[in-house]
Amino acid sequence: MDALQQLVFFMCICFKATQTESSWTVDVPSSVEGLLGSCVVIPCSYNYPDIAAHTFTGIWRIDDQVIYHPTESNTMEKYRGRTKLLGDLSKKNCSLMIENLQQSDGGPFFFRIELEGPNKFSYSNNKVSISMIGEPNPTDFFVQEEVKEGQTVSAFCSVSHSCPTNPPDFHWSHSGEQHFQTQNLQNGQWKATSTLTFRSDRTDNNKPLRCRVTYHGGKQREPSKTIKVKYAPVNVKVEYQSDVNEGETAHLKCSSDANPVSSYEWHSESGALLNKGQTYTMSNVSRNSEAVYCTAVNEEGRVKSSTVQLNVLYAPDTETYSKCSSYNGIVKCDCIVQSRPPSTVHFVLGDRVLPSSKVEKNGSVTTGTLQTDFGSFKFVHCLANNTLGNSNLTLFLPVNDNMQNIFIASGAGVIVLIILIAIGVGVVKKCRGQSDGTPKSDLSTTRSDRPAEPPRYAQTKRKENYEDVHCNDIYGNDSVYGNTETDWDESVYANV
């Protein structure tokens, strides 16, 4: 073989070797990050010369020691059960997972592929190291922190990790609709994201929203953010001491739950504005003081409290229309008292103190009724008392029914007698006026001229009207009446 043939042969061998060497390639990161106690996946893809291959054996090594072999007995004891080939070698995927990552698992590691016959290759120039971290990486947590009540809230919680076969588990402190997604980053890192959607409520205000992330192996992260929820006032109420003595001062305070904080207004029951501010002072309260309510106001709305009425306490006040009455001969006395608290009602009859026969209470009104034998007493005293004082009123008893009938009959008789006397006097005056024009007869003369006879009365016709009666008809035939006229008239007028 001459020199030219030797050169050609040498070039062919070099070209063949170069072509073969360049066909065995692998793509792995130089380093991956792994969480101690969790798992790590080393992404790996490889290539080999264009040969017909039917059997594939993938091996991972650290120097001359095997950390993964499909025949587990060929694997180092400390890695047995902790390493697993995830990829499909026939599709040139050689990714390796290491479970329960330990501090001693730092590597560096490299991949070896064995095909049929002499086609074997170790990719020892492409080694991978594992960077250990003791705690999970910080969590990306986003949520709109200031919302209005009823507004839809979306929260996002994301973490990076190195264990795609067992991604982190997300747990939210708030109920709602959740969505999960994962994303492949680079150099053996993945991103897992959980999204929570819910409708805000006032109960969410100032409460932390937590996203608890549990990694494969048990380690956790739990970031949180506090949500501010704006809402109109709720639970608006008036705080006050319900019992207050008449004439004293009452202090009222309005409270509510609201965001932003409420301002306050005070109104009377009729709606009149009384005051602005959280407190209201009522001076010199009385039993007639009007009920009030407060209104809480913020930028989200106005809400008023229920109306409150002070329980004003005062001493008894006996009503003047209290009285005694009689019906069918039965006498009873009703004593009506206004007071708060309600009064105890007694009656004093002579030297006796008598309890009420019946007591009725209606709000601040107490009615005590006494029904007994009042005898000859003309009045009874009504006494009322409570913790704040007492009052009394004299009630006059009605006159007995029989005596009342006698008095009525007597009065009627007197009236009739007066009427009759008045009629008689009128008749006499008229008769007197007519008799003044006739000559008077002389008694002595009459008696001497003729003997005395019984008086003869002329028969007269009955008159329907006293005005038509003529005195001559009555007295004309009897001179005796004419003789006694003056004395009779004087006695009549004297009686009148």
pLDDT in tens, 205-261: 999 999 999 999 889 999 999 999 999 999 999 999 989 999 999 999 999 999 999
User: Is 6 inside any structural domain?
Assistant: no
151 and 114 share a domain? no
Please give the structure tokens belonging to residue 287. Answer: 């039993």
Say yes or no to pLDDT of 471 above 90: no
User: Is 380 inside any structural domain?
Assistant: yes
**φ/ψ bin of 218: left (φ > 0), alpha (ψ from -120 to 50), beta (otherwise):** left
- Residue 432: predicted pLDDT: 58
Distance CA 59, CA 122 (A): 9
What does the DSSP 8-state code read for residue 308?
Answer: B
User: Is 476 inside any structural domain?
Assistant: yes
pLDDT in tens, 267-292: 999 999 999 999 999 999 999 999 99
Confidence band for 496, pLDDT divided at 50, 70 and 90 = very low
**φ/ψ bin of 389: left (φ > 0), alpha (ψ from -120 to 50), beta (otherwise):** left
248 and 202 share a domain? no
Which regions of 3-128 does DSSP assign to beta strands (E)? 25-27, 31-35, 40-42, 45-47, 57-62, 65-68, 83-85, 96-98, 110-114, 120-122
Say yes or no to pLDDT of 491 above 70: no
Please give the structure tokens belonging to residue 88. Answer: 């499909």
Say yes or no to pLDDT of 389 above 90: yes
Q: Which residues, 6+ apart, have CB-to-CB distance to 233 below 8 Å?
A: 256, 257, 258, 262, 296, 297, 298, 300, 301, 302, 303
Confidence band for 473, pLDDT divided at 50, 70 and 90 = very low
Distance CA 143, CA 56 (A): 50
For residue 381, list its beta bridge partners: 348, 394
State the average pLDDT over residues 53-78.
Answer: 88
User: By residue range, what is the domain housing residue 287?
Assistant: 230-309
- Residue 486: predicted pLDDT: 39
| Domains identified in the chain, total number | 5
State the average pLDDT over residues 439-443.
Answer: 38
Confidence band for 472, pLDDT divided at 50, 70 and 90 = very low
Confidence band for 10, pLDDT divided at 50, 70 and 90 = very low
268 and 216 share a domain? no
Please give the structure tokens belonging to residue 63. Answer: 């120097």
User: DSSP 3-state assignment of 13?
Assistant: helix
Say yes or no to pLDDT of 59 above 60: yes
pLDDT in tens, 325-367: 988 888 999 999 999 999 999 999 988 999 998 999 998 999 9
User: Is 1 inside any structural domain?
Assistant: no
pTM, two decimal places: 0.59
State the average pLDDT over residues 301-311.
Answer: 94
Say yes or no to pLDDT of 189 above 50: yes
Q: Does residue 294 contact residue 233 with C-beta atoms inside 8 Å? A: no
27 and 81 share a domain? yes
User: Is 52 inside any structural domain?
Assistant: yes
User: Is 16 inside any structural domain?
Assistant: no
- Alpha-carbon dihedral 401, 405, 411, 416, rounded to 10 degrees: 160
Q: Is the peptide bond before 223 cis (omega within 30 degrees of 0)?
A: no
Distance CA 269, CA 292 (A): 5
User: Is 8 inside any structural domain?
Assistant: no
128 and 25 share a domain? yes
User: Is 318 inside any structural domain?
Assistant: yes
The domain boundary residue, chosen from 188, 222, 256 = 222
